Structure 1
Amino acid sequence: MMEMIQTFMTKVKERDHLRSLLNNADSLMVRFICGQQNIDIFLKNGECTLLYNPSGNFKQCEIYGDIETIKQLLTGEGKLRSLMKNGRLQVMASFRTLLLLEALFYLSKIEKKSYQII
């Protein structure tokens, strides 16, 4: 799961439109919980970083799910609220935070290029 999250964070750092989306966000810690494994990321000022010892005053969001569902979320194959509606993910966050994360996960998805032969 750590590799998937690091890939996601790399995509966020590489894409200017995602960094600008985070510029307008308050400090936010997102905790991914999958079985016994917890991974925390911190979003602030256009940056997305890994947290090893979380502490401080910031909003917190927790996302619970199995590894496959979290992979779908991080790769953009599944939408956050759809996965929640289907009961595959549980998320503890404000509605505003949900919308921010929905946009962030969806916009960071892997682009599938299609080519047209003329």
Structure 2
Amino acid sequence: MIEAVKTFLVKIKDQGHVLPLIHRADIQVNLHCDQQTIQLIIKNGGIFLLQNPEEQQVKYEISGSPAAMKQLLEGTERLRFLEQQGQLKASTPLRTTLLLESIFFLTKAQNSQFTK
């Protein structure tokens, strides 16, 4: 999962159209699957991962299978769809869920236009 997160972070920094979505965001979310937890921090127009998430309390979490988490991070499937299918569980308010879904999906959507 760490490789998928790192790939996502590289992609989003190249995507100028996505960055306005996170301009004023202040979200800390744990991504959890297979005994591994990675914390994504979205703050002040930036997005990065925290190496030691156990040290900080976070109120939001997305958990599920490695395959579903990979689909989310690659933007090939939407967060709410994966949640409806029972592949992921998101403990976030609807507004945060929609923002995260947009960030993940739009990062992929822009990339696919360049690869055609």
Which TM-score applies when normalising by structure 1?
0.86
**Among the aligned pairs, what percent are the same residue?**
39
Distance in 2 (CA, whole Å) between partners of 1:60 and 1:47 is 19
**Cα deviation, residue 111, structure 1:** 1.1
Distance in 2 (CA, whole Å) between partners of 1:21 and 1:41 is 15
**Cα deviation, residue 24, structure 1:** 2.7
> Which structure 2 segments of 5+ residues have no match?
none
**SS where residue 101 of structure 1 aligns?**
helix
**SS where residue 90 of structure 2 aligns?**
strand
Distance in 1 (CA, whole Å) between partners of 2:40 and 2:10 is 12
Distance in 2 (CA, whole Å) between partners of 1:10 and 1:46 is 15
Partner of 2:10: 10
**SS where residue 69 of structure 2 aligns?**
helix
Query: Which structure shows the bigger proportion of residues in helix conformation?
Result: 2
Q: Does 1:19 align with 2:19?
A: yes
Partner of 1:45: 44
| Equivalent pair of 1:28/1:60 in contact (CA under 8 Å) | no
Describe the superposition over 1:34-92 as per-residue Cα deviations: whole angstroms up to 9, x where unpaired: 02110111001111111123437xx7320111111100111111110000001110000
Partner of 1:69: 68
Partner of 2:93: 94
> Which structure 1 segments of 5+ residues have no match?
none
Q: In the comparison of the two structures, how many residue pairs are matched?
A: 111
CA-atom RMSD in angstroms: 1.6
**SS where residue 86 of structure 2 aligns?**
coil
Partner of 2:27: 28
Distance in 2 (CA, whole Å) between partners of 1:60 and 1:2 is 21
